Every structure is written in C-alpha cells, then in structure tokens.
C-alpha cells in the first residue's frame, strides 16, 4: 500500500494546448494518505477517468508527477505500478471457474496454495459467490461477472492501490448497496488505498472517507462527506452534493447582511467588501417556513413526499428554491415566507466560498 502524491499534475489530450480550456485535467496538487478510501466524484466528462488513468499509468500526463510513497512512477507502465483495477464492465476469463478467476492474481505471484485457498474463500464470501466457486464464468450474468471482477481486484493484499472506475454500473440496485457496504468493510479490514471513480454522490459519500469533487477538469474541493455538505467551497459542490442541492440566491453584501433583491438576510458575521458576483447558499434543510412575518417571500409550486421528508419546490424572488420538511413536522398553512439559520448560510463570490472577517479559513479549493 502506498501514499499517493499528485504533484502539479495536468493533462491535455491535444498536442499543443492553447488555453486552460484545452486541459481535460487542470493543474492539481494533493496527497492521498496510505490506506485512505477516496472517491473522485463529478458529472460526465469532468476528468475523473483521465485522473484515474494517469494514476494507473494508462495516460502519461502533460505535466507534473505521480508519486507512490517516495517513488516517482509518472513514466512507469501500468504493469510496473503494482496496482489492481476494476473497470465499469466485467473482465473475466470465461473458460475458467469462478475460483480460478479469483485466484489468478495470486497464482501469478506464486503464492502458496493454502494462502490462495484461504484468500479466495474470504473474497468469495464477500461477494456472495461461495456456492458458485466451481462454476465456469461463461454463462454467468453480467452482474455475477462484475462481482468476480471486483473480487479479483481485491484479492491481493500487497498492492499499492486499488482503482475502481464506476464499478457498480452493471450491478442491480439491491446488490449495489450490498457490495458498497462490503467494499467499505473490506477497506476497514485490510486498509488498502482505494480510489473510486463515480458520478453518483450516494456511492461516493457512502464509500469514501474523503471525496474529491471535480468539475470541468478542475478539483474544486476535497474533503469528508460532512465537510462537503456543511461547507462547500464552490457552488458546484453545494449544488451537486445533497438531494436536492443547495439553494443559491443572487445577493449583494453589506457587512453582516446580504441583500436579496433589496431584502435583508442576516449573516453569521461581517464580510469585507467584494467585487464579483455574490450568491448566498442555503441547504434545503436549513430553512424555516412561516405564513407571513419576516423573511424572504416564498412561492410554493408543489410538494413531493419522498418518505423521510417532504420536498417543497417553489421560488424565492423568481429563483428556484427547495425546502425540506422532516416526516412528522407540520408544514405551516399558507406558508409564504422563508428564514434561515445565519450559521448555515454560505457566501460565494464568483462561485467560490468566502468567509466572514475574523474567520481563519479562506478558499478551500
Ligand atoms: N482519449 C481521449 N482523447 C481526447 N479527449 C479525451 C480522451 N479521453 C477523454 N477525453 C476528453 O477529456 C474530457 C474528460 O474526460 P474523462 O473521461 O476524463 O471524464 P469523466 O469525468 O471520466 O467522464 P465519464 O464519466 O463520462 O467517463 C472530456 O471532455 C473527454 O471528451
């Protein structure tokens, strides 16, 4: 296992990139700790696979270095990196049994038979295929084959890292949940460094200790699921994480007050004057509803019941705005005002979070 360092890493698929827009991965520097579980999260085309392929050696970066521990692996081929990979679609040997498929990476490294048997047994239990070890892979469903791919990816204990690229795409929804929990358990047990690419926030937030959010080739924030939820560094993170995402309202700053279409909203602290486009961000669960009284005007369009809570969808001064109300809490009749807990209002300038005066943290990109 290894700590992974990305040192000023960037990549363009063009031979002569002219501008930042030509880079599929814009410069990124970060360190992933040995034994950490990381998710690369972002929408399609944001550069997740490019970054993963640079780490695995499938893509040679245009600039920067990749280190495994102290060792510079930037120019090493995949085979020399001692990593395991699990792809979106199953890669299994059809003519081999499930057992032999799982054992393959261990046999390749010449492990003693007893150790192989023990390890294959443990992995088979994890993927729920103990009863099928002697079946041939041919004829199994795509789902089962992908479970074998996952198992094979995790069978070796001595890899530097395990890289997963959207590995649960072909798995049915119930099994997805099951395998996600299993992966997590396996991570706890063996402490592999794991990097998991997904566009699905639920997968990222349940799997990873730390989520790296990407947008348009840029790493916009890296942090624990809770920190991304509580303190998004960028409006994209606020909007992308959370169901529904963070509400954003255009505003002007005046000390400790934000003016939304001229109407005051109290903030948790005073902000320095800024130039740029200001927005305030409020999570749908940080909103109080009332009928009349103080607050911004809210026009309710519809209520969706999603079980644990209801989502009230509407607008605030012409901007889409969602409020969540927990199950068992009454929605005030004729609710037409919203107020916010000042401590849970984020302030964003040109999409990046800014902090009030006296707060020691700046941009956390
Ligand atoms: N081999 C390639 N040649 C040229 N451009 C590429 C190549 N691979 C990816 N790109 C481009 O680089 C950008 C980032 O793609 P990448 O596959 O890394 O994103 P992603 O976040 O993994 O998306 P997806 O989930 O759709 O795979 C996209 O604009 C894509 O079109």
Best residue among 12, 14, 49 to mutate for probing ligand 1, ranked by most atoms within 8 Å of CB: 49
> Is 199 near ligand 1, meaning CB less than 6 Å away?
yes
Closest CA to 235 of 223, 225, 250: 250
Measured distance CA(4)–CA(162) in Å, rounded:
12
Is the confidence at residue 330, as pLDDT, over 70? yes
| φ, ψ (nearest 5 deg) of residue 188 | -60, -40
> Is 22 near ligand 1, meaning CB less than 6 Å away?
no
Instruction: Tell me which fold the domain 4-230 belongs to.
Output: Rossmann fold (3.40.50)
SS (H, E, C) 106-124: HHHCCCCHHHHHHHHHHHH
CA of 282 to the centre of ligand 1 (A): 32
Quick one: which H or E segment has residue 103? helix 98-108
Confidence band of 178 (pLDDT split at 50, 70, 90) = confident
The residue-averaged pLDDT of 301-312 equals 94
- Exposure string of 130-150, with b = 16+ CB inside 10 Å and e = fewer, is eebbeeebeebeeebbbbbbb
Sign of CA dihedral 292, 296, 302, 308: negative
Structure tokens at 286: 């940080």
Confidence band of 189 (pLDDT split at 50, 70, 90) = confident
Residue identified by tokens 């902090």 is 355
Supply the angle between the helices 113-127 and 142-154 in degrees, to the nearest 10. Answer: 130
Minimum-distance ligand 1 atom for the alpha carbon of 49:
22
Quick one: which H or E segment has residue 313? strand 309-316
Minimum-distance ligand 1 atom for the alpha carbon of 165:
22
DSSP character string of 163-208: EEESTTTTS-HHHHHHHHHHHHHHHHHH---EEEEES-HHHHHHH-
Is the confidence at residue 360, as pLDDT, over 90? no
Q: Are 237 and 228 in contact (CB under 8 A)?
A: yes
Radius of gyration of the chain, Cα coordinates, nearest whole angstrom: 24
Measured distance CA(196)–CA(217) in Å, rounded:
17
> Is 89 near ligand 1, meaning CB less than 6 Å away?
no
In this prediction, residue 112 carries a pLDDT of 97
Minimum-distance ligand 1 atom for the alpha carbon of 166:
25
In this prediction, residue 362 carries a pLDDT of 46
**By alpha-carbon position, which residue is closest to atom 17 of ligand 1?**
49
> Is 45 near ligand 1, meaning CB less than 6 Å away?
yes
> Tens of pLDDT along 12-51?
999 999 999 999 999 999 999 999 999 999 999 999 999 9
The residue-averaged pLDDT of 280-309 equals 95
| φ, ψ (nearest 5 deg) of residue 359 | -85, 130
CATH of domain 244-354: 2.40.50.140
In this prediction, residue 37 carries a pLDDT of 95
Q: How far apart are the first and last CA of the chain?
A: 27
Structure tokens at 158: 């001595």
**Number of C-beta neighbours around residue 9 at 10 A:** 23
ipTM of the complex: 0.96
In this prediction, residue 181 carries a pLDDT of 81
Measured distance CA(170)–CA(167) in Å, rounded:
8
> Is 50 near ligand 1, meaning CB less than 6 Å away?
yes
Task: Give the DSSP letter of residue 143.
Answer: H
Measured distance CA(83)–CA(163) in Å, rounded:
7
Measured distance CA(43)–CA(51) in Å, rounded:
14
Best residue among 50, 59, 216 to mutate for probing ligand 1, ranked by most atoms within 8 Å of CB: 50
Confidence band of 364 (pLDDT split at 50, 70, 90) = very low
Measured distance CA(149)–CA(166) in Å, rounded:
12
Q: Where are the domains of the chain?
A: 4-230, 244-354
CA of 310 to the centre of ligand 1 (A): 37
In this prediction, residue 361 carries a pLDDT of 56
Best residue among 11, 13, 89 to mutate for probing ligand 1, ranked by most atoms within 8 Å of CB: 13
In this prediction, residue 363 carries a pLDDT of 44
CA of 70 to the centre of ligand 1 (A): 29
> Is 242 near ligand 1, meaning CB less than 6 Å away?
no
- Exposure string of 18-39, with b = 16+ CB inside 10 Å and e = fewer, is eeeeebbbbbbeeebebbbbbb
Task: Look at strands 194-198 and 37-41 and give their pairing.
Answer: parallel
> Is 84 near ligand 1, meaning CB less than 6 Å away?
no
In this prediction, residue 365 carries a pLDDT of 39
Q: Are 4 and 67 in contact (CB under 8 A)?
A: yes
**By alpha-carbon position, which residue is closest to atom 29 of ligand 1?**
45
> Tens of pLDDT along 95-147?
999 999 999 999 999 999 999 999 999 999 988 899 999 999 999 998 899 99
> Tens of pLDDT along 2-13?
899 999 999 999
Q: CA-based angle 69:237:360, to the nearest 5?
A: 75
The residue-averaged pLDDT of 290-314 equals 94
- Domains 4-230 and 244-354 alike in fold: no
CA of 47 to the centre of ligand 1 (A): 6
> Is 213 near ligand 1, meaning CB less than 6 Å away?
no
> Is 11 near ligand 1, meaning CB less than 6 Å away?
no
Quick one: which H or E segment has residue 210? strand 210-215
> Is 49 near ligand 1, meaning CB less than 6 Å away?
yes
- What percentage of the chain reaches a pLDDT higher than 70? 98
> Is 48 near ligand 1, meaning CB less than 6 Å away?
yes
Say whether pTM exceeds 0.80.
yes
Best residue among 48, 56, 58, 89 to mutate for probing ligand 1, ranked by most atoms within 8 Å of CB: 48
> Tens of pLDDT along 228-238?
999 999 999 99
Measured distance CA(273)–CA(252) in Å, rounded:
10
């Amino acid at each position: 296992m290894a700590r992974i360092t990305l040192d000023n890493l960037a990549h363009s698929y063009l031979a002569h990139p002219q501008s930042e827009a030509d880079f599929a991965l814009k410069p990124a520097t970060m360190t992933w700790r040995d034994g950490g579980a990381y998710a690369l999260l972002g929408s399609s085309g944001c550069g997740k696979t490019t970054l993963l392929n640079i780490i695995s050696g499938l893509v040679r970066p245009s600039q920067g270095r990749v280190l495994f521990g102290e060792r510079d692996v930037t120019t090493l081929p995949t085979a020399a990196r001692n990593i395991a990979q699990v792809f979106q679609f199953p890669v299994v040997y059809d003519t081999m049994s499930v057992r032999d498929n799982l054992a393959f990476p261990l046999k390749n490294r010449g492990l003693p038979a007893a150790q192989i048997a023990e390890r294959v047994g443990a992995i088979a239990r994890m993927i729920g295929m103990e009863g099928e070890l002697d079946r041939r892979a041919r004829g199994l469903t795509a789902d089962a084959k992908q479970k074998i791919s996952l198992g094979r990816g995790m069978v070796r204990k001595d890899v530097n890292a395990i890289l997963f690229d959207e590995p649960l795409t072909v798995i049915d929804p119930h099994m997805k949940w099951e395998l996600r929990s299993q992966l997590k358990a396996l991570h706890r047990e063996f402490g592999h460094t794991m990097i998991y690419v997904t566009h699905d926030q639920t997968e990222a937030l349940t799997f990873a200790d730390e989520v790296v959010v990407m947008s348009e080739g840029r790493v916009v924030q890296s942090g624990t699921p809770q920190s991304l939820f509580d303190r998004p560094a960028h409006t994209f993170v606020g909007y992308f994480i959370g169901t529904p995402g963070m509400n954003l309202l255009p505003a002007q700053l005046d000390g400790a007050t934000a003016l939304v279409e001229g109407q005051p909203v109290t903030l948790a602290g005073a902000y320095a004057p800024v130039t740029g486009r200001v927005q305030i961000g409020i999570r749908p669960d940080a909103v109080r509803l009332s009928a009349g009284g103080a607050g911004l005007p809210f026009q309710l369009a519809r209520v969706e019941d999603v079980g644990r809570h209801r989502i009230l969808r509407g607008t605030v001064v012409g901007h889409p705005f969602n409020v969540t109300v927990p199950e068992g809490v009454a929605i005030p009749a004729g609710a037409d005002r919203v107020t916010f807990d000042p401590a849970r209002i984020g302030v964003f300038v040109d999409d990046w979070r800014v902090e009030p005066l006296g707060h020691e943290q700046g941009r956390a990109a």
